[in-house]
Chain A
Amino acid sequence: DQQVKQNSPSLSVQEGRISILNCDYTNSMFDYFLWYKKYPAEGPTFLISISSIKDKNEDGRFTVFLNKSAKHLSLHIVPSQPGDSAVYFCAALGGSQGNLIFGKGTKLSVKP
């Protein structure tokens, strides 16, 4: 059973608007979350992270929100740019080896 879920396989947004990517997790023991961006034919690139002691972390146009009671986090990109078009993976740090557990990803398309 998937421990990290990204229920929207794709999202399309107009340039300049806000992109909101959602992620749910099932294991309340997870205490650190990361977002990765992946372009075709490249490996995932670290974008932003958040510890469970926080509910918000901001880095430029990217903000991650964490709602622990709902076991839900979201990535906000504002304003969205065409170069943001990529697959975004949500991940939780919590594997038995200190590894990351990934969602299936959401493909974001930002249209000019």
Chain B
Amino acid sequence: SAVISQKPSRDICQRGTSLTIQCQVDSQVTMMFWYRQQPGQSLTLIATANQGSEATYESGFVIDKFPISRPNLTFSTLTVSNMSPEDSSIYLCSAAGTSGRSSYNEQFFGPGTRLTVL
């Protein structure tokens, strides 16, 4: 399995500011995703981070609000821009298609970033 780390693990931010979350995988992976888990809700996909090209966003999420980078096969960032209290959530990155595994269906998750916006 892949080991995934995220930084920061948590942050408290002021309204109107931006926060960039980093996701590092210990091996090259085919797919990287960013999810959000709001209180009492399921994990919801924000976007797929594509290596070397623009991310693919799900309905309800836009690049201006959640810019994503993926410069290589092991690293991605998610920025939460112009934050409001409604952005308070846990943000998780995940990876799939790790080398050596036969199944590309199993995604491995980072520990999450707990964001609170005041």
Chain A positions near chain B (C-beta within 8 angstroms): 2, 4, 32, 34, 36, 41-46, 49, 89, 93, 95-105
Which of A43, A96, A101, A104 is close to B112, meaning CB atoms less than 8 Å apart?
A43
Contact between B105 and A32, CB atoms less than 8 A apart: yes
Which residues of the partner chain B approach A102 to less than 8 Å between Cβ atoms?
A: 42-44
A88–B41 Cα gap in the complex (Å)?
Answer: 13
Contact between A34 and B56, CB atoms less than 8 A apart: no
Which residues of the partner chain B approach A89 to less than 8 Å between Cβ atoms?
A: 42-43
The proximity string for B residues 72-116 relative to A, scoring 1 for CB distances below 8 Å and 0 otherwise, is 000000000000000000001010100000011111111110100
A98–B95 Cα gap in the complex (Å)?
Answer: 11
19 additional contacts (CB under 8 A) given A49-B105, A93-B105: A4-B42, A34-B107, A36-B109, A42-B111, A43-B94, A43-B109, A43-B111, A45-B109, A46-B107, A49-B103, A49-B106, A89-B42, A95-B45, A97-B33, A97-B45, A98-B104, A100-B107, A102-B42, A105-B42
User: How close is A111's CB to chain B, nearest CB, in angstroms?
Assistant: 23
- Decide if B24 is an interface residue (CB 8 Å cutoff): no
A102–B1 Cα gap in the complex (Å)?
Answer: 20
**How many A-B Cβ pairs are below 8 Å?**
63
A102–B41 Cα gap in the complex (Å)?
Answer: 10
A41–B111 Cα gap in the complex (Å)?
Answer: 7
Which residues of the partner chain A approach B110 to less than 8 Å between Cβ atoms?
A: 43
14 A-B pairs with CB atoms under 8 Å apart are A32-B105, A42-B111, A42-B112, A43-B94, A43-B110, A44-B43, A46-B1, A46-B108, A95-B45, A95-B58, A97-B45, A101-B45, A103-B42, A104-B41
Which residues of the partner chain A approach B4 to less than 8 Å between Cβ atoms?
A: 43
A105–B43 Cα gap in the complex (Å)?
Answer: 9
- Decide if B52 is an interface residue (CB 8 Å cutoff): no
Which 9 pairs of residues, A with B, have the shortest CB-CB distance? Answer: A43-B109, A97-B48, A102-B42, A102-B43, A104-B42, A43-B111, A99-B45, A44-B109, A43-B110
